[in-house]
Amino acid sequence: MRTWLGRLARDIGRKVAVAAEEVRADFAAPLGLVARLPRQRREDRGREKICALHAPEVECIGKGKARTRSEFGVKVSIATTDRAAAGGQFVVGARALPGNPCDGHTLAAQIARTERITGVPVERAYVDRGYRGHDAGKARVFLSGQKRGVTPTIRREIRRRAAVGPVIGHMKDDGHLGRNFLRGAEGDAVNLVLAAAGHDLRLPRAWLARLLAFLLGIAAFALRPAGDHPSSARAA
């Protein structure tokens, strides 16, 4: 495949060299990526490694799970409420993290953005063990499985941290977060915000649908003829 790629790139390069200047400018970036591709190695990391020619911003993200060792895309950070509201678990903060940074180095910025969006200070933040060595205040950040400084209330709230998993799953399956069709790094950020907004909008819509079904059931029961009521049948 390296041989085929080199032959194709050289053939296109020879034809582009005698073309107009606008054509050479259009082919400069793709040919530059193709020239980098044969030289990269398996152990390369970061933005130096190209995972997809059509989307150079795609990165290989290690998952550390038996069924999914790695994923290709852009890392994101999702913040939800600790307690589920009447409509469900709402997303209150979402950030795209290009460059595949360490999770702990993104926590302070995520907390600051969540506070700016909601206008409410974050009293306590619960994260998984991937955030060890984070850059936020240790007094209000608690890791999954932490023992020191944990009260019964905090222990109960730490167990609620697992609720963010289904939220991310719904965003991937229902909100197109699992596959982005928008181009570039800006498209990754826009797709994440749209997926989070769509998730928050689906929750009150589902709650209103249940309320409407309940009201229609009451109305249908009230509009029944007198002989169709169960109480009338028992009285007879």
pLDDT at 137: 77
Helix count and strand count (H, E) for the chain: 7, 6
Range among 38-47, 52-61, 81-90, 180-189 with highest mean pLDDT value? 180-189
| The residue type at 91 | V
Q: How far apart are CA 235 and CA 233, in angstroms?
A: 5
3-state SS, residue 98: coil
Dist. CA 137–CA 116, nearest whole Å: 17
- pTM for this prediction: 0.75
CA distance 117 to 123: 15
* 63 and 71 Cβ atoms separated by less than 8 Å: yes
* Rounded-to-integer distance, Cα 99 and Cα 186, Å: 13
Question: pLDDT value at position 234?
Answer: 52
Is the pLDDT at 130 greater than 60, yes or no? yes
Opening angle at CA 66, ends 63 and 69, nearest 5:
35
Q: Which residue type occupies 193? A: V
Q: Which residue, 71, 74, 76, 32, is CA-closest to 53? A: 32
What SS3 string covers 38-92? Answer: HHCCCCCCHHHCCCCCCCCCCEEEECCCCCCCEEEECEEEEEECCCCCCCCCCEE
Residue 111 pLDDT > 60: yes
Sorted by where each begins, the domain ranges of the chain are 2-39, 74-204
Which helix (H) or strand (E) is 213 found in, with range?
helix 184-222
Place of tokens 């890791």: 143
Tens-digit pLDDT profile for residues 172-227 = 888 888 888 888 888 889 999 999 999 999 988 888 898 899 999 998 888 877 66
pLDDT band at 228 (very low <50, low <70, confident <90, very high): low
Instruction: Tell me how far apart the alpha carbons of residues 36 and 138 are, in angstroms, rounded to a whole number.
Output: 42
